[in-house]
Amino acid sequence: MREIFSKTWNGAKSIINLMTLGDLVIVGSMVLFSLALMYWAPHFIGNKTTLIEVVSRERPLGRFSLNTDRMLEVDGVLGTTQVQIKDGRAQIVNSPCSNKYCVNMGQIGDSGGVLVCVPNEIIVKGLSRVDNGLDAISR
């Protein structure tokens, strides 16, 4: 095992000996650049959640953008659930159910998510506009 390591190390050293300072700068900057991209790229390129879909009693009622602030009144089995869209986030603020789990589920933000009120049979889903239906293979 040690022999393999020392051989690999010697091979790497002999490759580095072949390179000039400029080469090392280029290789180093490329590696640093790719590491930086690895860290930052997912922040810029991600399928951000931009709209929500509201489903009541297994029937989709419609899609609403997260960009416009509004209050949605959704009728369910028990009564009316209030879904609030504010500052790009959606949240259930009031519900006729007894446990209020849905109110405590939190918000749908950039990273998506889903809010469910089981007793009232209401689902609020976060969706992104990007269509992932395409696929391709190239050689």
Partner 1 sequence: MNEDARRIARLAMMLALATSVHALESMTPIVLGWFRFGFANIIGLTTLLIFGFKNALYVTVGRIFLGGLLSGSIGSPAFFLALSGGVVSICFMGLISLTKRSCISEIGISVVGAVSHNLAQLVTAYLIIVRNESILLLAPIMIIAAVVTGIINGIATRYLTQSLKHRWDIK
- What residue ranges bind partner 1 (CB under 8 A)? 15, 18-23, 26-27, 30-31, 33-35, 37-38, 41-42, 45, 47, 130-132, 134, 136, 138-139
Q: Which is nearer to partner 1, 27 or 114 (CB)?
A: 27
The C-alpha R_g of the chain, in whole angstroms, comes to 26
Residue with tokens 């690999």: 8
Residue with tokens 């589920």: 105
Nearest 5°: phi and psi at 14? -70, -30
Decide: 112 and 49 in contact? Cβ < 8 Å. yes
Looking at the Cβ atoms of 19 and 71, the one nearer to partner 1 is 19
Would you say 35 or 118 has its CB closer to partner 1? 35
Across the beta sheet with 107-108, the strand order is 70-75, 80-86, 89-94, 107-108
Q: Which is nearer to partner 1, 11 or 106 (CB)?
A: 11
In one-letter notation, the amino acid at residue 10 is N
Q: How far is the CB of 128 from partner 1 (least distance, A)?
A: 11
What is the spatial distance between Cα 77 and Cα 95, in angstroms, rounded to a whole number? 11
